[in-house]
């Protein structure tokens, strides 16, 4: 199983920007923790970060047929990007939205997510641990999807045998 982690604008500045909100941990450190979890659970993981909306849309679309799950922090695009929302919806890959800060305890404009309604769920407000929880969630979702597909295939095989 493969998970693609997509990071939006300014997340490359973690560890430098607004540490009182986002903490001192760098994005590379968060990715290293996620990589360790993925290795322990036999999950292939890939990371992508861009400050450009179109590149994020392109990367989501590239996940089609390549990834079993997506973890995305659209950052500021959470509140503005219909294009990212539409890309998530179009690929129909289980997606978990994640945020370091509790967006609901911040400015009013940050409290509306355009992307969350097309995601399996949203995790926010736990700092870097939000990403760990997102990993747990996406692995669980991917396992459920896999089990459902296997059950459907078994049912189809059984029906095929009965029809012969």
What is the Cα–Cα distance from 55 to 8, expressed in whole angstroms?
10
Contact yes or no for 112/81 (Cβ under 8 A): no
Give the closest residue to 47 by CA, choosing from 70, 65, 78, 25: 70
- Reported as half-sphere exposure (CB side, CA atoms, 13 A), residue 25 has a value of 16
Q: Which of 22, 77, 131, 132 is catalytic?
A: 22
Catalytic residue among 77, 99, 131, 132: 99
96: which strand partners? Answer: 71, 121
Catalytic residue check, 77: no
Cα(123)–Cα(148) distance, rounded to whole angstroms? 24
**Catalytic site residue 132?**
no
Q: Which residues are catalytic?
A: 22, 99
């Amino acid at each position: 199983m493969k998970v693609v982690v997509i990071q939006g604008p300014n997340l490359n500045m973690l560890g430098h920007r607004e540490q009182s909100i986002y903490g001192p941990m760098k994005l590379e450190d968060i990715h290293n923790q996620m990589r360790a979890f993925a290795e322990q659970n036999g999950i292939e993981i890939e990371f992508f970060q861009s400050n450009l909306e179109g590149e994020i849309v392109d990367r989501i679309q590239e996940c089609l047929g390549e990834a079993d799950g997506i973890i995305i922090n659209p950052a500021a695009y959470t509140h503005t990007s219909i294009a990212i929302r539409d890309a998530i919806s179009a690929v129909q890959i289980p997606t978990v939205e994640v945020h370091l800060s509790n967006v609901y305890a911040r400015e009013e404009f940050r409290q509306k997510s355009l992307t969350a309604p097309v995601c399996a769920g949203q995790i926010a407000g736990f700092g870097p641990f939000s990403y760990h929880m997102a990993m747990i969630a996406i692995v669980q979702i991917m396992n459920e999807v896999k089990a459902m597909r296997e059950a459907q295939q078994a049912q189809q095989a059984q029906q095929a045998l009965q029809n012969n």
